[in-house]
């Protein structure tokens, strides 16, 4: 008892698990009682992490030893993409198995259960619960606020703490608009004050106090490197001084062959543009802070993975790690996400564990939409009808296995980007287009869509564009683009080209 009192969070979750186990048996019925033991699932979500990961090679100074060791014992997808370059629609799509163009969820609101297309859908954790799994989530798994508290026990047996990011009394970076999240600095002094430390603590306590006799689905949602990019001094010290930080490659006239409509997808945002970062001398500080906060987050992933090993569950657990969208750090003249280019859509996706090839690297296109059917197949569950993704099972066994489907990213109604193994084709809602040869032009600097000899490539990719373009769901808000009587509106305000700040 004395030992237990030293760890009050462990005591709390032990009682919570005991109670939730009894309730879940009643709720899930006979299925929970008779289900054979299947592989566990450790479901790790990361917020706003692009390919600046050691095993992905996105930045030469990136340090992510724990993500790298997970990749070494599993399969890493080098060409994985989100369904939407924004938190809420990305997570709603993954967890429901439906595209944003199907549901109409494009903005930071409404939530998953507030939309007719997804109100009664069986989400990924619910499907596992129906097959006898104990389910728990910690941190940001669903988008913050998208599931009202009264409904949370319907989504997960245990809805654990999801602390927000620490806030400085005053932001250290005075970005345009002075948004409190748009900050990066050495902060806080103690890592235990970080949200990701607390999230890891809660997940670790849960893994050490699981209900006996049932497989588990434990989801852990880390917040960094989402802004504010904060990390203590020890993590900044792992990187060179600002003057030696490698900046991402940019082309000053990169927008010259890009449709002007591309600006509409990120018309007015708190994330600063490259012009401001350069003018204020904040480009290198932001890059260094992004790298440092990523490395700190990686350390917390390591704590959770170490716990999985310590409880003897690693061999019978499928681990999947993913990010909800990428992040620009100057490429295409912007920072943040909300674009249909590689920097915003491409994310880490790693599978490891039972049924997954070790040390494999797959270049076939993959979508986060594929996680639902892939995990169902890996764990031997019955299929869920209506899912729009496709199992990655063949690629998890053999990374060289061909895959007929491209990855499709949507940002607001009618704007889609199709990513194959070598190409990206984008069509905007006004009909304008882009085409990039990613094998020869990984920075997407040369738009080839007007090359007549590539018309066949355009047709091949265009045939994958979603046939359904559902209008924004009722209650849509924040980063939503709409059109009324030929006028385009960003967040309800008519777009005026003269307002574009270069």
Q: Report the C-alpha gap between 286 and 16 in whole angstroms.
A: 40
Q: Answer yes or no: are the C-beta atoms of 378 and 393 closer than 8 Å.
A: yes
DSSP H or E run through 15: helix 8-28
Which residues, listed in sequence order, are joined to residue 408 by a DSSP beta bridge?
418
Residue of 55, 87, 362, 379 with catalytic role: 87
> What count of Cα atoms within 13 Å lies in the side-chain half-sphere of residue 422?
6
Nearest to 248, CA basis, from 440, 53, 58: 58
Active-site annotation holds for 362? no
Question: What is the torsional sign of CA 232, 236, 241, 246?
Answer: negative
Q: Report the C-alpha gap between 290 and 147 in whole angstroms.
A: 29
Q: Report the C-alpha gap between 227 and 225 in whole angstroms.
A: 6
φ/ψ of residue 441, rounded to 5: -135, 70
Question: What is the torsional sign of CA 92, 96, 98, 102?
Answer: negative
DSSP SS3 for 175: coil
> What count of Cα atoms within 13 Å lies in the side-chain half-sphere of residue 441?
13
DSSP SS3 for 286: helix
Token readout for 393 is 């099972």
Nearest to 378, CA basis, from 351, 404, 402, 358: 351
Helix axes 195-207, 8-28, angle to 10 degrees: 60
φ/ψ of residue 294, rounded to 5: -65, -45
Q: Give the CA angle between residues 73, 287, 223 to the nearest 5°.
A: 55
Active-site annotation holds for 31? no
Secondary structure E strands in 84-170:
134-139, 158-159
Token readout for 238 is 């792992």
Q: What is the largest CA-CA distance in the chain?
A: 76
Residue of 143, 157, 266, 416 with catalytic role: 143
Nearest to 381, CA basis, from 125, 84, 131, 80: 131
Q: Which residues are known catalytic residues?
A: 87, 143
């Amino acid at each position: 008892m004395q030992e237990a009192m030293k760890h009050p969070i462990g005591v709390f979750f032990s009682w919570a698990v005991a109670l939730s186990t009894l309730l879940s048996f009643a709720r899930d019925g006979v299925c929970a009682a008779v289900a054979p033991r299947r592989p566990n699932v450790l479901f790790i979500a990361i917020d706003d992490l692009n390919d600046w990961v050691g095993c992905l090679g996105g930045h030469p100074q990136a340090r992510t030893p724990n993500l790298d060791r997970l990749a070494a014992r599993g399969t890493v997808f080098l060409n994985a993409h989100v369904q939407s370059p924004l938190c809420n629609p990305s997570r709603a799509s993954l967890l429901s198995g439906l595209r944003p163009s199907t549901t109409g969820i494009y903005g930071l609101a409404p939530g998953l259960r507030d939309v007719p297309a997804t109100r009664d859908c069986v989400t990924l954790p619910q499907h596992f619960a129906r097959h006898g799994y104990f389910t728990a989530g910690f941190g940001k798994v669903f988008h913050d606020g998208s599931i009202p508290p009264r409904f949370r026990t319907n989504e997960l047996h245990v809805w654990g703490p999801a602390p927000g990011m620490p806030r400085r009394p005053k932001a250290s970076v005075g970005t345009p608009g002075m948004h409190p999240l748009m900050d990066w600095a050495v902060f806080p002094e103690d890592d235990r004050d970080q949200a990701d430390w607390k999230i890891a603590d809660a997940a670790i306590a849960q893994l050490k106090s699981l209900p006996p006799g049932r497989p588990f689905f434990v989801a852990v949602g880390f917040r960094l490197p989402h802004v504010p990019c904060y990390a203590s001094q020890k993590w900044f010290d792992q990187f060179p001084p600002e003057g030696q930080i490698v900046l991402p490659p940019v082309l000053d006239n990169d927008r010259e062959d890009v449709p002007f409509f591309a600006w509409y997808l990120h018309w007015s945002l708190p994330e600063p543009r490259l012009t401001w970062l350069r003018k204020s001398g904040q480009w290198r500080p932001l890059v260094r802070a992004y790298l440092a906060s990523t490395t700190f987050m990686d350390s917390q992933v390591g704590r959770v993975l170490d716990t999985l090993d310590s409880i003897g569950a690693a061999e019978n657990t499928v681990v999947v790690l993913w990010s909800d969208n990428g992040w620009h750090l100057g490429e295409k003249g912007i920072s943040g996400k909300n674009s249909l280019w590689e920097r915003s859509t491409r994310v880490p996706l790693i599978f490891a564990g039972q049924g997954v090839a070790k040390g494999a690297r797959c270049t076939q296109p993959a979508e986060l939409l594929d996680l639902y059917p892939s995990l169902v197949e890996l764990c031997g569950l019955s299929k869920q009808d209506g899912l729009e993704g496709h199992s990655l099972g063949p690629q998890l066994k053999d990374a060289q296995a061909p895959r007929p489907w491209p990855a499709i990213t949507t940002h607001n109604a009618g704007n889609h980007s199709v990513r194959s193994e070598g190409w990206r084709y984008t069509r905007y809602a006004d009909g304008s287009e882009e085409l990039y040869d990613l094998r020869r032009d990984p920075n997407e600097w040369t738009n080839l869509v007007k090359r007549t000899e590539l018309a066949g490539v355009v047709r091949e990719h265009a045939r994958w564009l979603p046939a359904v373009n559902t209008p924004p769901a009722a209650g849509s808000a924040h980063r939503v683009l709409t059109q009324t009587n030929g006028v385009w509106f960003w967040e309800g305000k008519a777009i005026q080209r003269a307002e574009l700040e270069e």
